[in-house]
Amino acid sequence: MSKPLLRNAHAKAFGHKGLLNNALIQDETLGFYNDKERVAALFQKMEPWQRHCMTLIYNSASRGLTFNELRLTVPVSKCRDLQTFLLEMCREYVLWRSPSTNTSVYYGFANFLGIFDEPLVEAPAVKGADLFYQNLIDWHICEVLALAMTGDLKVNNSNALHRRSYQICTEAFTSARRISEKTAENEVSLIFSFLTGNGWLEQEDACLVPTEKALEFIRKNGFRLHQDLVSWWLKERFRGDRSHCVRLLRMLDKPRTALFASSIFWVLDPTFRLQEKDGLIAWEYLPRPLRELWLLGLVRFTMVGGKVAAVSLEQAGRDWLESSIASVPEQNISCLPNFELIASTGTSPRVLLMLACLAKVENDEVYLRFSLNRESYLRGLKCGIAESEIENFKGWIKPPVNVESTIAEWNSSYYGARVQTVRLLKIENAEVLNELSRFPQFMECANEYIAGYGFVLKPEMESRAFEILTNYGYCPFVERKNVNRSSAPTEEWRKEFVVAWPEAKAPDYELKDTANSETLQTALNSTKYGNNYQKLSTFDLVKVLRYAKTVGALIGAKVKNPTKRGDNEVERSFFVHALKLAKSPQTIEIQPYGSEVPELLELSFIQEVKVYNGRQPQ
């Protein structure tokens, strides 16, 4: 803060005291404005809507909330008072603001955390079904990777997931669809964002295939899959700020109403108006981070009539809060003589991936049921599964004698006769050949030693073998067949996954009014968004109504009144909640000014409109 502004802040707190040195000004000013009792007293004097607004800003932490986002949180009758209130709180140094693109972003101070928390009220007991997801998302990741291995994931010309591939995924996630059809779509977006963000998928021609990085992780570190998924999500949603996530989650230690839980996580996805009264909330109207917490198995929902009534922390969520590691369900797998396998979602992802490739899954629950048959088994082998992995697989499932003998027969039909393209390395110098055959690091790169000739190299270890050969003075030429692979496209599912995060600049110390209301109004009046009544074409009228719905602006309209013959126009003021333009007659859902009861209004009845833009009807 500049010296004049610092002196002004000091004078506001203590009055003018003559000339003071900078150190004293800073010390006294900071001591006054950092006083928590002063801030708590301010909070107690606020109206309920002001308290709620402050709570949301402090819950948003480093993300902050823009003015237009905050307008969606206050009662419609208080919209014009919001900017004055926010500016006053900044001048009291309870908030600070930063200019962003065409708006201001408001933040709280870490010094005052806890002061602006609203009382935590436990949700009343309701009779409903408790739904929680446990580790089903881990299984679904393995299922998606298996679909990629078998060639069932394709992209279209616009680099989006092919319609049929998308349908296969959403239809497989039947547990998610118990809440809503949109739930499976949200999970697809989450999973593909994770896989492409981690470089676990790549594109070969029109197919998505798993990368070696993904398969290596599943083989060696699969036990960390869920933890890595949660850590990635934390980085995406909270920019890696774990303490922020923990603070919000701790508010769900006991069952809370759906509205309260939504308001907690709305600060990360402020794209809609919060309800003003408690009630049931459909999945589609929950903030995206809260939906994803359910998909990650960290919270549970109490459902009534297909809508969310209450939200509470799941045991896995409690474990994650305490140790950064979510609890894993019991690991269990068994193979029955009728060629059925039962495996829990807590089973190692390495095993689940093999089951997804080799067997047909019959359900989508915490305990998965698979059926083995020759067709699905051989289809899985053709994905390129090594024979050693199949031996490990038999050790994991411990099949009965009849199943083991049948699997051995299927293996022999595939591995018993093979056509392979091998790469032979011929060494002319017998002394070097003999020395290399006794070199363990080199033999790790070879499948076989051919006495007097050379070696059969492992394709994946060729580069390592050539590095060793350079130490012997060899630099062999190798004709390579390039596989046309590229990074998997990310844009389509990222559009659905990403939520806005305003980028702030330096703090605004001067705290002047952001715009001269008279100048702004003069400019607006010359447009269709002005404060003067204008007759608009249907196209422009729809644009104005959409603008009013987005920013929560109050609309004035001259509306045709068919009940009166003479004066057939009435003036009405309302807020726009929804536009229903797909069917005839085209209507909009409005909330009349001063009323809480929504109603429908035909678009053709609107003759002229104006936008109040900060002013209210007289």
Among the listed ranges 69-73, 376-380, 413-417, 519-523, which one has the minimum average pLDDT value? Answer: 519-523
- Report d(CA 212, CA 225) in Å as an integer: 16
- Report d(CA 185, CA 203) in Å as an integer: 22
In the sheet with 485-487, reading across from the earlier edge strand, the strands are 207-210, 201-204, 485-487
Q: What are the pLDDT digits (tens) for 594-612?
A: 887 888 999 988 988 988 8
Q: What is the dihedral of CA 497, 499, 504, 509, to 10 degrees?
A: -160
φ, ψ for residue 607 (rounded to 5)?
-95, -50
pTM of the complete model? 0.76
Mean pLDDT of 453-466: 86
Q: Which of 541, 510, 481, 408 is nearest to 91 (CA)?
A: 510
Mean pLDDT of 385-396: 88
Q: What are the pLDDT digits (tens) for 44-55?
A: 999 999 999 999
Mean pLDDT of 321-337: 84
Q: Which of 184, 178, 189 is nearest to 307 (CA)?
A: 178
The helix/strand/coil state of 408 is helix
Q: What are the pLDDT digits (tens) for 210-266?
A: 999 999 999 999 999 999 999 999 999 999 999 999 999 999 999 999 999 999 999
- Report d(CA 40, CA 585) in Å as an integer: 53
Q: Which of 552, 554, 549, 547 is nearest to 527 (CA)?
A: 547
What confidence score (pLDDT) does residue 531 get? 73
Task: Quickly state the pLDDT bin for 419 (edges 50, 70, 90).
Answer: low
Mean per-residue pLDDT over the chain, rounded = 87
Q: Give the relative orientation of helices 225-238 and 181-197 as an angle to the nearest 10 degrees.
A: 90
Q: Which of 547, 552, 500, 523 is nearest to 83 (CA)?
A: 552
Per-residue pLDDT for 189 more than 90?
yes
Q: What are the pLDDT digits (tens) for 342-356?
A: 999 999 999 999 999
Per-residue pLDDT for 618 more than 80?
no
- Other Cβ atoms closer than 10 A to 14: 13
Q: What are the pLDDT digits (tens) for 572-586?
A: 899 898 898 888 888
Q: Which of 320, 280, 282, 281 is nearest to 299 (CA)?
A: 320
φ, ψ for residue 196 (rounded to 5)?
-75, -35
Mean pLDDT of 481-497: 75
Per-residue pLDDT for 539 more than 80?
yes
Q: Which percentage of the chain shows pLDDT scores above 90?
A: 49
φ, ψ for residue 565 (rounded to 5)?
-85, -40
Which residue did the predictor score with more confidence, 188 or 483?
188
Mean pLDDT of 150-169: 90
CB contact at 8 A, 42 and 85:
no
What confidence score (pLDDT) does residue 224 get? 92
What confidence score (pLDDT) does residue 567 get? 55
Per-residue pLDDT for 520 more than 50?
no
Instruction: Extract the tokens encoding 424.
Output: 């032979």
- H or E stretch covering 301: strand 299-304
Which position has the token pair 């060639």? 151
CB contact at 8 A, 195 and 213:
no
Mean pLDDT of 288-317: 94
- H or E stretch covering 351: helix 349-358
Per-residue pLDDT for 535 more than 90?
no
Mean pLDDT of 424-453: 89
Task: Quickly state the pLDDT bin for 5 (edges 50, 70, 90).
Answer: confident
What confidence score (pLDDT) does residue 516 get? 41
CB contact at 8 A, 285 and 297:
no
In the sheet with 103-108, reading across from the earlier edge strand, the strands are 65-66, 103-108, 95-100
**DSSP per position, 119-170:** P--PPPP---EEE--TTHHHHHHHHHHHHHHTT--BB-TTSSBPHHHHHHHH
Mean pLDDT of 178-182: 91
Mean pLDDT of 126-133: 90
What confidence score (pLDDT) does residue 613 get? 64
